Amino acid sequence: MKDYIIIGAGQSGLAIAYHLTKQNANFLIVDANKETGAPWLKRWDSLKLFTPSEFNSLPGMDFPHKKGHYANKYEVADYLKSYVTKFKIPIEFNHRVTSLKKENDFFILTCKNKNFKAKNVIIATGPFHKPFTPNCHKKVSKDIFQIHSEHYKSPNQLQKGATLVVGAGDSGVQILNEISKTNKKVYFSGNTDIVSLPQEFLGKTLWWWFRKIGFLTANKYSFIGKKLSNSGQPVIGTDVKTLFKKENITCVGRTLDANEETIIFEKQKVHDIKNIVWATGFKPNFNWIENIELDENQYPKNYRGVSEMEGLYFIGLPWLYTRGSATLGGVKKDAKYLCNYIAKKEKDSQ
């Protein structure tokens, strides 16, 4: 029986673990992966953060690269591994929690080969759970190679011929840009009216300006926070207008349907596609938590990570409190708040 079990050893789980370590708490992290940083290492090879090093630090340890450096996925994974080593954070890997339920005053965490018990549980599984792919992908010919951005690594995975990239978020735009550099014919499906922002402006990083004008600290209950959380996420670091004008890129609007080799878009039908990269995001999945109440976006109801179930907490959700709540450098404020809340609660109960 642990006082606390954290589910997930990503940046959110490690940030909360740091504070529990400082409190000498009896806790453990349980993680489905085989090693620290595994979710980062699974992402595409050329991935780089769009936040510079000075904005990527977890509590108690600076990100180990010079100011203005945009880290790749390997540097992020190495940082997380060093963090675990430095603070001696206890983790048990290869345990995917398949169900969580509360019995009397404690929680039971069920895994394939082992069960755990805890008085309190902090869920830090992040915002990316189930890859989402439109239903029309089932109508696509088996001769067309299809892959979700979760499993995309590089253009080397693609077969000869034209490629379709679906999705207008950061992942979709970065993957589109990378594939277009191979001179392969590329179709882009998604909104082309995207707000794109440079990584630097007037000698300062974009994130310096965001912090200066309050975009990073505005909470989701404030006027500006409500506006930001309901607006589309801008693409950072890629000039999308210039990208869409490249000779080998054709923008075809939204993907509507498919019939074997024919893919139907808003603007036209296309018959020569040989590869599809679905950069269409993820859907949350908290169905494994018994008796949890979800909001309209299928995320657990909570206030700053404190759920409506006694002893159950969340961290690392999108807009848990601010825009940065699910980011590498932004999670530390939520972690500090949550641990202070938990410590006060423990003190009051004594």
* Pairwise CA distance, residues 144 & 255, whole Å: 16
- Report the amino acid identity of residue 115: N
Residue 325 makes CB contacts below 8 A (sequence gap 6+) with 316, 317, 318, 319, 331, 334
How does strand 269-270 pair with strand 282-283? unpaired
Digit-coded pLDDT (tens) for 105-151: 999 999 998 999 999 999 999 888 899 999 999 999 999 999 999 99
pLDDT for res 218: 80
* Pairwise CA distance, residues 318 & 324, whole Å: 8
Contact criterion met (CB below 8 Å) for 255 and 166: yes
Q: pLDDT band for 194, please (50, 70, 90 cuts).
A: confident
Q: Assign residue 98 a region: left if phi > 0, alpha if psi is -120 to 50, beta otherwise? A: alpha
pLDDT for res 156: 96
**Burial group, residue 142, by CB count within 10 angstroms (0-12, 13-18, 19+):** exposed
Using alpha carbons only, what angle is made at residue 329 by residues 326 and 333, rounded to the nearest 5 degrees? 75
Q: What is the residue-wise DSSP string for 270-323?
A: E--EEEEEE---EE---TTBTT--B-TTSPBPEETTEESSTTEEE-S-TTSSBG
Digit-coded pLDDT (tens) for 306-315: 999 999 999 9
Sign (positive/negative) of CA torsion 192, 195, 196, 202? positive
How does strand 162-166 pair with strand 186-189? parallel
**Residue 322: half-sphere exposure toward Cβ, Cα within 13 Å:** 19
Digit-coded pLDDT (tens) for 248-277: 999 999 999 999 999 999 999 999 999 999
Beta strands in 142-261 (DSSP E): 145-148, 162-166, 186-189, 196-197, 200-201, 204-205, 235-236, 249-251, 255-259
How does strand 306-307 pair with strand 302-303? antiparallel
Return residue ranges of the chain for CATH 3.50.50.60: 2-129+284-349, 132-195+232-278
Q: pLDDT band for 207, please (50, 70, 90 cuts).
A: low
Query: Has residue 70 got a pLDDT over 70?
Result: yes
pLDDT for res 223: 80
Query: Has residue 76 got a pLDDT over 90?
Result: yes
> What DSSP character marks residue 137?
G
pLDDT for res 63: 96
Q: What is the residue-wise DSSP string for 173-188?
A: HHHHHHHHTTT--EEE
What is the distance, to the nearest Å, from the Cα of residue 244 to the centroid of all Cα atoms in its chain? 26
Tell me the average pLDDT across 31-37. Answer: 96
> In terms of pLDDT, which residue wins out, 29 or 203?
29
pLDDT for res 206: 67
Query: Has residue 201 got a pLDDT over 80?
Result: no
Query: Has residue 301 got a pLDDT over 70?
Result: yes
Q: Which fold has domain 2-129+284-349?
A: FAD/NAD(P)-binding domain (3.50.50)
Residue range 132-195+232-278 in CATH 3.50.50.60? yes
